[in-house]
């Protein structure tokens, strides 16, 4: 039965919302997309969304990736990169996607 499911099974759903973000005991990542209790590992994809969007997940996933990459660059090279973070924050606010406290707010 498992073999049949692997061969013929499929889904029409977008893979998302599987890595809870926040400080909750069940959360997987923090607001900086860092995996709790694991150094140097981040989850930067649709799995950190709190809920499936009512539209295609491509655009919000790209925004999460851009934001995560900017945060990672800032962590690796503190200093002038903050200007880039400010620029991307403005872009995400324009698109109504911003990281607030310990969850992604849509």
List residues bridging with 21 in a β-sheet.
29
Known active-site residue 14: yes
Question: How far apart are the C-alpha atoms of 98 and 78, rounded to whole Å?
Answer: 21
Among 14, 24, 36, 95, the active-site one is: 14
Closest to 69 measured CA to CA, from 53, 81, 55, 57? 81
Which positions are catalytic?
Answer: 14
């Amino acid at each position: 039965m498992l073999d049949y499911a692997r061969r013929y099974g499929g889904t029409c759903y977008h893979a998302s919302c599987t890595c809870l973000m926040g400080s909750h005991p069940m959360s997987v990542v923090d607001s900086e997309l860092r995996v709790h209790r694991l150094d140097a590992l981040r989850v930067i994809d649709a799995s950190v969304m709190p809920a499936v969007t009512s539209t295609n997940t491509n655009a919000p996933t790209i925004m999460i990736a851009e934001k995560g990459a900017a945060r990672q660059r800032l962590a690796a090279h503190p200093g002038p990169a903050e200007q880039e973070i400010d620029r991307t924050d403005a872009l995400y606010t324009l698109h109504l996607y911003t990281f607030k406290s310990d969850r992604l707010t849509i």
